Structure 1
Amino acid sequence: MTQLDVLYRYGVPPTEASMLAMARVREVYGVRALTFDEKNKTIRVEYDATRLNEAMIHQLLRRAGLDILERVTLFTVPPPPESQPTAAPTTK
């Protein structure tokens, strides 16, 4: 099993009907967890990548009625360290 997370930002808060539909999304084999953050208007989905992919998760949420605006990057790759010129050794 390969566990992955994807984070989406949504616009309009989900309705009661959407929340009920998303409860059924939790029952899809491979979806491990759905976590809402109402303050930041995001939903985080933990899923098994051997069963589902990110496009399938996106489609499940859209079909449930969630107004997805964008996918949020969970982490960024730090830039490579800048090469700094080394100082010449001093002689005494």
Structure 2
Amino acid sequence: MTQLDVLYRYGVPPSEAATLAIANLREIYGVRKLDFDEASKTIRIEYDASRLTEPVIHQLLRRAGLDIVETMAMFAPPAPPPPPAEPAPAV
């Protein structure tokens, strides 16, 4: 069993019917956890990658009525290394 997370940002807040449909996604074998963050308009889904794929999760949310705007990175990429120091001029 391989657990993965995917983070989506949504535009319009879900209606009551869409919220109930999204809550029912927990009944799908392989969906482990759903976390809504209303302040940042994101939903994080933990799922079993041996049962489901990210495109399937995306489609399930769209069919439930969630207005997905983008898939977001879970972690920020590391900062680029600083440029090498230039040698001091010879006198």
Give the TM-score normalised by the residue count of structure 2: 0.86
Which residue number in structure 1 is paired with residue 43 of structure 2?
A: 43
Q: Write the mapping of 1:1-92 to structure 2, written as runs, cut at 5 A.
A: 1-78=1-78, 81=81, 84=84
Cα RMSD (Å): 1.7
DSSP-derived class of the 1:62 partner: helix
Q: Which is greater in Rg?
A: 1
Q: Point out where structure 2 has 5 or more consecutive residues left out of the alignment.
A: none
Number of residues paired by the alignment?
A: 88
Q: Point out where structure 1 has 5 or more consecutive residues left out of the alignment.
A: 88-92
Give the TM-score normalised by the residue count of structure 1: 0.85
Question: 4+ runs of 1 displaced by more than 2 Å?
Answer: 76-85
1:24 shift after superposition: 1.2
1:79 shift after superposition: 5.4
Which region of structure 1 is more displaced relative to structure 2, 71-80 or 13-22? 71-80
Give the letter aligned to residue 24 of structure 1: N
Which region of structure 1 is more displaced relative to structure 2, 69-78 or 24-33? 69-78
DSSP-derived class of the 2:39 partner: coil
